[in-house]
Amino acid sequence: MFIDVKQESGTTVITLSGRFDALMAKEFKNCISGLIENRQIMIAIDMSAIDFIDSSGLGSLVGGLKGVAREKGEIRIAGLSPEVRTIFELTRLHRIFDIYENIEIALASFN
């Protein structure tokens, strides 16, 4: 599992890879808390290298979305594989996220 954070034209890009389970969820929550503290709250998440997500991973995304929204920020996610998208739909969480085909389109949507 891997979490990379960089800035691109005023937007924070988080790249996740590997298994998005309870272990990555813990790190992801810490990552989002740090970004909120630094007011880096316009966030695009590239999930194209995530091959597996469970409800712990999803829950941390929901927590991040709500935490960032409280500060008037936004989270947009991109690059869901068909398997990962299935889990979003199974839990009906696809309705609360702005989901883009890839990170380039997600980033462009902020402008």
Partner 1 sequence: MLHYSIEVPCLLESLRIAAPFTDAVLYELPEIEDRDRLIHDLRLVSSEALTNALRHGESGANIRLAYTLYSDSIVIVITDHGVGFDLDAVNPPDFEECPEGGYGIHIMKTIMDDMRYEKTADGNNLVLTKSWKKP
Where on the chain is the footprint of partner 1 (CB under 8 A)?
19, 21-23, 26, 52, 54-56, 58-60, 62-63, 66, 83, 86-87, 90-93, 95-96
- Output 23 or 108, the one with its CB closest to partner 1: 23
- Output 26 or 70, the one with its CB closest to partner 1: 26
Interhelix angle 55-70/22-37, rounded to 10 degrees, is 10
Nearest approach, Cβ of residue 71 and partner 1 (Å): 17
Q: How far apart are CA 34 and CA 109, in angstroms?
A: 24
Nearest approach, Cβ of residue 90 and partner 1 (Å): 6
Distance of CA 15 to CAs 1, 63, 66, 98, Å? 11, 17, 19, 16
